[in-house]
Amino acid sequence: MKKLRLTVRTRSFVEGYFFISLWIAGFFLFMAVPLGRSIYYSFQELKMNTGRMTAEFVGLEHYRYAFTVDIDFMPILISTIKTVLIQVPLILIFAMFCALLLNKPMRGRLFFRGVYFLPVIVASGNSLKRLTEQGAATLPIFKQYDLYTIMLNYIPEQLLTPLLTMMDSLMIVMWGSGVQIIIFMAGLQSIPVSLYEAAKCDGATPWEVFWKITFPMMMPMILVSTLFTIVDSFTKVDNQMIKYNWTLMFNKLSFGYASAIGWIYFAFVFLVIFIVLFMFRNTSALAQERR
């Protein structure tokens, strides 16, 4: 009996591998092997000579160069991380706001949902790049009417400059939140109505209901969309760091150095994600306690 069960198990595994094998083969050939090679290349100096590559081992030279010699690398890395860290909370807050609005019963909800998702289709990849190049993605009002100097009279400069950079990326934030809105709407619909009814009976205000019920119950959804937003904005085409890596790779043809930079960048992305996971571990534990 025991032996038979084992063979059934192994048989199901063999069948499982049969199903998965094609994908694994493709993944190894075009993803894992290139990734492994790029680690290897990051320790090499690669030169293109009449169509053939020649490699020379340089050890950690590229990594040292990136941090100590290259004057472009660190500023770009820091500003990329800064932009992402500013944009991610904005996208999440905007998406939450829209999801709350769209969750109310009203006419044309399906239509609005489609419209809010549309930028994910239209303003992605190359067309978004073209839009930002043409300056269509920033609001021209601030420059046109010289609002900066006027507002400087009322708001201190230290506060105004980050505020305006936020306003400047407003369109990017709005167009980048389609997926998150859908995730949040799904989360909102999964909260049982009885919780809201109980809160109403106890005389809770809408404000209290949001912070005591909606927000904690949405914690898993918030984590998912935070991670998604971080990964998405770190690997977007119009990202400064990606652009820099691209020029190193294809204009300056220094493959070894570009690979090294790609890996350093990946390490930072991973670090940010790790920190976020750590932060959320505490908050979701808190939410659980409260429940």
Partner 1 sequence: MNESSIVRRNDWSGRILFLLLTLFGLLMLAPLVYLTSTAFKPKAELFLFPPRFFVMNPTLLNFTDLLSVTESSLVPFSRYIFNSIIVAGSVVIGGIAIGSMAAYPLSKHKGMPFGRLIFKMIILALMFAPAVTQIPQYLVMTELGMMNTYWALILPGLASPIGLFLMKQFLDQIPDALLEAARIDGANEVHTFRKIIFPLLQPAVATYALFSFIAAWNDSWSASVFTTSDQMKTLPFAIMSISGGVNDIARAGAMAASSFLMIIPTLVVFIVTQRKVMETMAHSGIKG
**Subset of residues 167 to 226 that bind partner 1, contact rule: CB under 8 A:** 171, 174-175, 178-179, 182-183, 185-186, 189, 221, 224-225
Q: Which of 212, 187, 210, 178 is nearest to 95 (CA)?
A: 178
Give the one residue of 54, 57, 85, 130 binding partner 1; rule: CB under 8 A.
130
DSSP 254: -
Q: Tell me the one-letter amino acid at 18.
A: F
Give the one residue of 96, 216, 234, 257 binding partner 1; rule: CB under 8 A.
234
Measured from the CB atom, is 12 or 288 closer to partner 1? Answer: 12
Q: Which of 143, 161, 180, 156 is nearest to 82 (CA)?
A: 161
Please tell me the distance from the alpha carbon of residue 214 to that of residue 243, in angstroms, as a whole number.
39
The reply to whether 15 sits near partner 1 by the rule CB under 8 A is: yes
Measured from the CB atom, is 216 or 259 closer to partner 1? Answer: 259
Measured from the CB atom, is 10 or 159 closer to partner 1? Answer: 10
The reply to whether 262 sits near partner 1 by the rule CB under 8 A is: yes
The reply to whether 277 sits near partner 1 by the rule CB under 8 A is: no
The reply to whether 235 sits near partner 1 by the rule CB under 8 A is: yes
Measured from the CB atom, is 31 or 198 closer to partner 1? Answer: 31
| Tokens at 23, concatenated | 């994908």
Q: What is the greatest pairwise CA distance in the chain?
A: 85
The reply to whether 104 sits near partner 1 by the rule CB under 8 A is: yes
Measured from the CB atom, is 48 or 286 closer to partner 1? Answer: 48
Measured from the CB atom, is 189 or 194 closer to partner 1? Answer: 189
Q: How far is CA 191 from CA 103, 114, 146, 205, 215, in A?
A: 12, 23, 46, 18, 10
Site size toward partner 1, by CB under 8 A: 92
Q: Which of 75, 45, 77 is nearest to 60 (CA)?
A: 45
Q: Coil, helix or strand for 140?
A: coil
The reply to whether 80 sits near partner 1 by the rule CB under 8 A is: no
The reply to whether 113 sits near partner 1 by the rule CB under 8 A is: yes
Q: Which of 140, 133, 135 is nearest to 167 (CA)?
A: 140
Q: Which of 88, 117, 122, 121 is nearest to 102 (CA)?
A: 117
Binding residues among 26-45 for partner 1 as defined by CB under 8 A: 26-27, 29-35, 37-38, 41
Measured from the CB atom, is 71 or 106 closer to partner 1? Answer: 106
* Measured distance between the N- and C-terminal CA atoms of the chain, rounded to whole angstroms: 46
Measured from the CB atom, is 22 or 150 closer to partner 1? Answer: 22
Helix (H) or strand (E) holding 47: strand 44-49
The reply to whether 131 sits near partner 1 by the rule CB under 8 A is: yes
Q: 287 burial class (0-12, 13-18, 19+ CB within 10 angstroms)?
A: middle
In angstroms, what is the minimal distance from the CB of 201 to partner 1? 20
Give the one residue of 59, 140, 156, 203 binding partner 1; rule: CB under 8 A.
140
The reply to whether 159 sits near partner 1 by the rule CB under 8 A is: no
In angstroms, what is the minimal distance from the CB of 232 to partner 1? 8
In angstroms, what is the minimal distance from the CB of 218 to partner 1? 12
| Tokens at 117, concatenated | 């998702």
For residues 268 and 230, the answer to whether their CB atoms sit within 8 Å is no
Backbone CA torsion sign across 247, 253, 256, 259: positive
The reply to whether 246 sits near partner 1 by the rule CB under 8 A is: yes
